[in-house]
Structure 1
Amino acid sequence: MKLPLIMLSAIIALTACTSSSTGRKQVMLFSESELDKMGAASFEDMKKQTPISTDRATNDFVQCVASAITQNVAKSVHKGDWEVVIFDSAQVNAFALPGGKIGVYTGILNVTENQDQLGAIIGHEVGHVIEHHSNERLSANKLQSMGMSAATVAVGMADVENKGMWMAGLGLGLQYGVIMPYGRAHESEADIVGQDLMARSGFEPSASIKLWQNMAKLSKDAPAEFMSTHPSNQTRIKQLTEHLPVSMKYYQTGNKPQCQKPSVIPTPKS
């Protein structure tokens, strides 16, 4: 099994030549143009599959917050305009994709109490794009597939009993030892990058802490942190609280946007 694993390690060593803004080493196997095309294609599919909100007040509110955030994103991340779509869905979720795409589900507007908390959500999601997390996740999946293939060949060549058990063990080790912690690292990094971004955009950075306190009330039955791709709510609150003095340095009250949340969010159709 040594040769396939050495080959896999060599690939990782050759590609781990970049670092995120927080200093974390990154493995990225895809070009930015490839990621942009993937992001655009995925976004078009979502627009076909999920109803889009036509409520004027809701759209104005989300577009206002998103515009304030994206104005402070470097052109090296995305050169053109950002496309922002509000999906008419009860999902408590939002996302950003490479290629300047942002999706916000109306369900999350019932958790975000004001423009600052929505700024925390969009800042976090754009933080994933800024730090190339989609590239890393796709690269990790590709390396996982290569590693499993290599391990399968190696086990197949050896006279090993219970080969299925060995392969299941390797899969479990990769899933909980590499892929899931990788996801948690991305989420924590996006929290910090997003908190700085929302502060630069004029949103009160402490609102990110209140946001996750709200989220904690909704996720009492969440899985243990070890078994989740996301940090626990308490971990996120602790990390954001510790980083708050740094974010506050970027916050200027005179730069505060005036995005008015509607008093009533229409009930989603889906």
Structure 2
Amino acid sequence: MLLISRSLCQRSIQRNAINYFIIRPIRSHSCTWQCKKLLTISQNTVECKKLQSVILQKCYFRTTQSLHIPPFVAMFLRPVLRIGAFLMGRTIKKWWTRKSQKEKEEYKQWVKDRSNIILGCFGLYGLILFIYYITHLETDPLTKRSRFIIFNKEQEKQLGEMVLEVHLEAHKKDLVAKTHPAYKRLLRVIEKILAANKDLKSIRDTKWTLTVINTPLSNSYILPGGNIFVSLDILKIIENDDQLGIVLAHEMAHSLLLHSLEALSDQLLWDFLIAIPILIIWALFPDIMAAIVQMIGERIVSIVYKLPYSRVLENEADEVGLKLAAKACIDIREAVVFWATMRTLTEMHLLPPELSWISSHPSHGDREKNLNEEMMQAIELRKDAGCPVLPAIDPRNKFYERSAKEQEIYFKQKGII
């Protein structure tokens, strides 16, 4: 991992392409995202009253405080668990090969006599992990989905600062200046989304940053703590500010939903779960066979659980991002057009082919379909926000009416290809 000092990072931020947005808390009793929050405290009871479709605060209590792991400890533990299990397994295997046949039989009998105790230790280990898991489940206020997170809000900021330094160092030669027209365009759209959604406490409490990088990859992503990174190359595919707002709102939704913290928490839990299987594999099998078995096992877990889980997070960010964009009076129908464009470019072999079942992201076609299904509800939210009426000509219809040849001509005219 690349590390730079805090002073170097601060000089780099001041000199290059980072801009901070600070939204001050508003002292009012205004509505927050289709709901009003009413707390009545009487005789040691707390009542949460649901007024519309979304509750922004869940009422619950704990008898003990959650044990949160510092981010640097979590990042240190991940490789330590894997490497430690690997080394311990090989050590046991080498120790076993040095034993005589008589000694091996004695140890086998010793293990057999204490099998219940050994199994009980494994069971206790699993029980501890299970208890830790259920005591760190919380309900996301925007989606109502239960999630496992081992970090608190302050630790998210620490993790964000730490990861931001690494990414700034990695892209120090690619940073785009704040005076660049693309930077100003991105900044304008981000400020529009923030202003329209300032009723959300998570929006106000986040210190948002923008970094524009000049790389050949058409990509945008967000780091913990609201640090948005956008590649200049992705602007070639985006046709207008409405589509740009959709892309940025998607990334901001990842931050609001704490997806990076959730993913890191999930990965650390899996590392604890698979530490013992890794140890057993390297203790029982020859080195080459152990490496193959571990690789196949981890690939199966990735395909069956990790990648589908990642796709769930992406779909969730699409849905919440659509709502953020709707409240900002963006023509949210362009979200469908953007992903339809990505799908078409893939079908034209201008983008890499998609194999959704081994991808961390849903296919472009699936995202196009899902957003179409969410569109009516998002349009109603846009109306409730007091936005101007959408243009009569639906951009989705214009896109779907073009033939394959017309699409190619259109993309060339727009500079997309």
Higher mean Cα deviation, 181-190 or 57-66?
Answer: 57-66
| Cross-structure match for 2:313 | 186
Aligned match for 1:34, one of 155, 177, 196: 155
- Greater RCO between the two (CA within 8 Å, min separation 6)? 1
Aligned match for 2:229, one of 103, 113, 131: 103
For residue 85 of structure 1, report the CA deviation from its aligned partner: 2.0
In the alignment, is residue 173 of structure 1 matched against residue 304 of structure 2? Answer: no
- Number of residue pairs matched by the alignment: 256
Q: 1:165 to 1:102 in 2, by over 3 A?
A: closer
Q: 1:62 to 1:245 in 2, by over 3 A?
A: same
Is the CA contact 2:202–2:256 (under 8 Å) kept in the aligned structure 1? no
For residue 110 of structure 1, report the CA deviation from its aligned partner: 0.7
Give 2:248's aligned amino acid.
Answer: I
Aligned match for 1:216, one of 339, 343, 357: 343
Is the CA contact 1:180–1:229 (under 8 Å) kept in the aligned structure 2? yes
| Cross-structure match for 1:124 | 250
Q: 1:103 to 1:148 in 2, by over 3 A?
A: same
| Cross-structure match for 1:260 | none
Is the CA contact 2:224–2:261 (under 8 Å) kept in the aligned structure 1? no
Counterparts of 2:133 and 2:207, CA distance in 1:
34
Counterparts of 1:20 and 1:160, CA distance in 2:
47
Secondary structure of the corresponding residue to residue 248 of structure 2? helix
Is the CA contact 1:144–1:174 (under 8 Å) kept in the aligned structure 2? no
Higher mean Cα deviation, 75-84 or 105-114?
Answer: 75-84
In the alignment, is residue 83 of structure 1 matched against residue 205 of structure 2? Answer: no
| Cross-structure match for 1:134 | 260
| Cross-structure match for 2:189 | 65
| Cross-structure match for 2:111 | none
Matches within 5 A, 1:142-181: 142-153=268-279, 167-181=294-308
Higher mean Cα deviation, 5-14 or 183-192?
Answer: 5-14
Give 1:56's aligned amino acid.
Answer: H
| Cross-structure match for 2:97 | none
Counterparts of 2:282 and 2:169, CA distance in 1:
44
Gaps of 5+ in 1: 257-270
CA-based RMSD: 2.7
| Cross-structure match for 1:49 | 170
Secondary structure of the corresponding residue to residue 135 of structure 2? helix
| Cross-structure match for 1:233 | 364
TM-score (norm 2): 0.56
Is the CA contact 1:77–1:129 (under 8 Å) kept in the aligned structure 2? no
Q: 1:105 to 1:168 in 2, by over 3 A?
A: closer
| Cross-structure match for 1:244 | 375
Q: 1:193 to 1:218 in 2, by over 3 A?
A: same
Q: 1:142 to 1:20 in 2, by over 3 A?
A: farther
Q: 1:80 to 1:185 in 2, by over 3 A?
A: closer
| Cross-structure match for 1:268 | none
| Cross-structure match for 2:133 | 12
Give 2:163's aligned amino acid.
Answer: S
Counterparts of 2:270 and 2:345, CA distance in 1:
33
Give 1:230's aligned amino acid.
Answer: H
Counterparts of 1:164 and 1:106, CA distance in 2:
40
| Cross-structure match for 1:206 | 333
For residue 80 of structure 1, report the CA deviation from its aligned partner: 5.2
Identity of aligned residues (%): 24
| Cross-structure match for 1:23 | 144
For residue 5 of structure 1, report the CA deviation from its aligned partner: 4.0
For residue 83 of structure 1, report the CA deviation from its aligned partner: 1.6
Gaps of 5+ in 2: 1-118, 389-417
Is the CA contact 2:327–2:381 (under 8 Å) kept in the aligned structure 1? yes
Counterparts of 1:230 and 1:146, CA distance in 2:
25
Larger radius of gyration: 2
For residue 64 of structure 1, report the CA deviation from its aligned partner: 0.4
For residue 136 of structure 1, report the CA deviation from its aligned partner: 0.8
Counterparts of 1:59 and 1:255, CA distance in 2:
26
Secondary structure of the corresponding residue to residue 212 of structure 2? strand
Deviations 1:174-225 (A, max 9, x none): 2122211110000000000000100101111111111111222343433311
